[in-house]
């Protein structure tokens, strides 16, 4: 039994997220599993590093599958490039040890969220950023990013109703980069809860607009109530940049 690791990039605009649903053609996992099953002649279950929401994009999603197929990696890669839709691309394929698991072995992830901060929206890149016209206080947003880093219970910054599992996560860093009208917010941490990045992003923007204070972030951690945090910003501005694993 071989264990095959894929790194995948995709434009999530026309998909209902990563996770396979009843209509598999509308999810990234469903599309990939269909093609991998055709490639191998087997019923394949693809293991992803984690879910991405409907409309979210990825530059470095990681997945693995197990197969008895004896085709070479080059043949497999060519098959993916030929038969996958153009908005899903396998950028890397490797054979890895049998125990490798794309989700359980991940130690950290990085996401980017893009905000267009300008007088006018863009007609061309509207599927890849969130448009904000209001003034933003850069120093206040910087302080908000610092308050959100570290180890906390992020239940109040998630769309989870409740969870039997721990909602404590460690955010290593949140960085802001500005180039002309575009602001890129880079989130890196050991894991992210359901819609957590989008809610943190909405909270940072609320602080930047003066709708919330930085001190309210501490209150949200204490209260653990979703309604106390900022809005859930749209998914189209969110990209999964990469998933990181311990080096053997």
- CA-only gyration radius of the chain, Å: 19
Catalytic residues, by residue number, are: 53
Rounded to 10 deg, the angle between the 28-40 and 73-83 helix axes is 130
H helices, E strands: number in the chain: 5, 10
Instruction: Give, as one character, the DSSP assignment of residue 203.
Output: H
CB 153 within 8 A of CB 221: yes
Three-state SS for 20-43 is CCCCHHHCHHHHHHHHHHHHHCCC
């Amino acid at each position: 039994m071989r264990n095959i690791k894929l790194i995948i990039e995709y434009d999530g605009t026309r998909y209902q997220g990563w996770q396979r649903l009843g209509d598999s053609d509308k999810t990234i996992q469903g599309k990939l599993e269909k093609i991998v099953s055709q490639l191998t002649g087997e019923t394949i279950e693809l293991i992803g590093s984690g879910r991405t929401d409907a409309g979210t994009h990825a530059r470095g999603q990681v997945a693995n599958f197990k197969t008895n197929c004896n085709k070479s990696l080059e043949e497999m890669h060519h098959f993916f490039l030929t038969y996958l839709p153009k908005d899903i691309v396998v950028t890397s394929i490797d054979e890895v040890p049998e125990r490798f698991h794309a989700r359980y072995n991940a130690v950290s992830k990085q996401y980017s969220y893009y905000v267009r901060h300008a007088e006018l929206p863009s007609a061309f890149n509207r599927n890849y950023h969130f448009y904000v016209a209001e003034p933003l206080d850069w120093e206040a947003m910087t302080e908000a990013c610092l308050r959100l880093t570290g180890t906390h219970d992020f239940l109040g910054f998630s769309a989870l109703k409740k969870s039997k599992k721990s909602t404590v996560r460690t955010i290593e860093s949140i960085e802001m980069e500005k180039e002309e009208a575009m602001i890129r917010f880079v989130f890196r941490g050991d894991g992210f809860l359901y819609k957590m990045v989008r809610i943190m992003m909405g909270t940072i923007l609320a602080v930047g607009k003066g709708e919330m204070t930085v001190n309210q972030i501490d209150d949200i951690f204490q209260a653990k109530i979703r309604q106390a945090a900022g809005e859930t910003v749209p998914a189209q501005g969110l990209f999964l940049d990469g998933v990181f694993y311990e080096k053997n």
